[in-house]
Structure 1
Amino acid sequence: MLPPGVFFRRAAVPALQTAVLLMLVSGCGLFRSTPATPPVVGTWAYVVVNTPQGDAPGTLVVTYVDGHLGGRMVVDLLGQTAPLEKASFENDVFTFVATVNIDGQATPVRGEATVEGDTMSGRVEVPGIGTFVLTATRQALAGG
């Protein structure tokens, strides 16, 4: 006959070993959690205010694929769509570059905006032309 408590100790050892093994394996990155989708992801109707051609509306589509931000900027005034390059989101600030064709020249438009819920405000810099105010509102999903 076993002394009292021996059965418990023997039964607890495999459970303890399993728990320790899971802690070690998770520390090695085999059970990494998926990073949360940044709140900037979505479709935004924007306006760049007071450009030389007047207010310039368009659409920003921000995506998050395999842990990387991307998407596209539709510039209604120019009739162009440009991929978002160097897109990042940190401390509620979204930054990006979108290269568009202005007067036959590839022009990197740099944007920086603070995201607060379903609004975004900041600025875009267009080399050789100026820096302008950017405002945007998140668009509702179709059927939502």
Structure 2
Amino acid sequence: MRNYRKRIIHCTLLLLSGFLLMLSPTAHANYFTDFYNGVEQFSELPSEVNKLKESYQQTLSELAEARASIKNYQLQQESLMDQNRQLTETITLLQDAESSKQSRMDQIKVVVIWAVALLIGYFILIRTLRFLMQRSNKR
């Protein structure tokens, strides 16, 4: 009876494993198709390499253009900085000239006011002296 049970268990396991194998996806071995696909992929490699080379050359040319553009911008920036420095010096000179001119104008104003004040003072002093002298002569 033990052998009978073992046989039943073995047969059941065998049927179950066969059933599971039937449910699993099967791989179809098509050697000629696989070989043809491999040859086709291999034959496409040179065109892909050429595309990569062209892309690399294009990237190199774009990089060279970018470097030239950066160099031009740097030259422009240096030129603009030089112009800015020159303009700053010119503005400083003009401001100094304006302050010097204003200082001279202030000095001239002070001299003119003093001259007018001295002239008025001179006339007042002369008139006062004449008046005092006339008054002392009348006595």
TM-score interval, smaller chain = under 0.3
If the length of structure 2 is used for normalisation, what is the TM-score? 0.27
Higher helix share: 2
TM-score (norm. length: structure 1): 0.26
Determine which structure has greater relative contact order: mean sequence separation of CA pairs < 8 Å that are 6+ residues apart, divided by chain length: 1
Which is higher, the Rg of structure 1 or of structure 2? 2
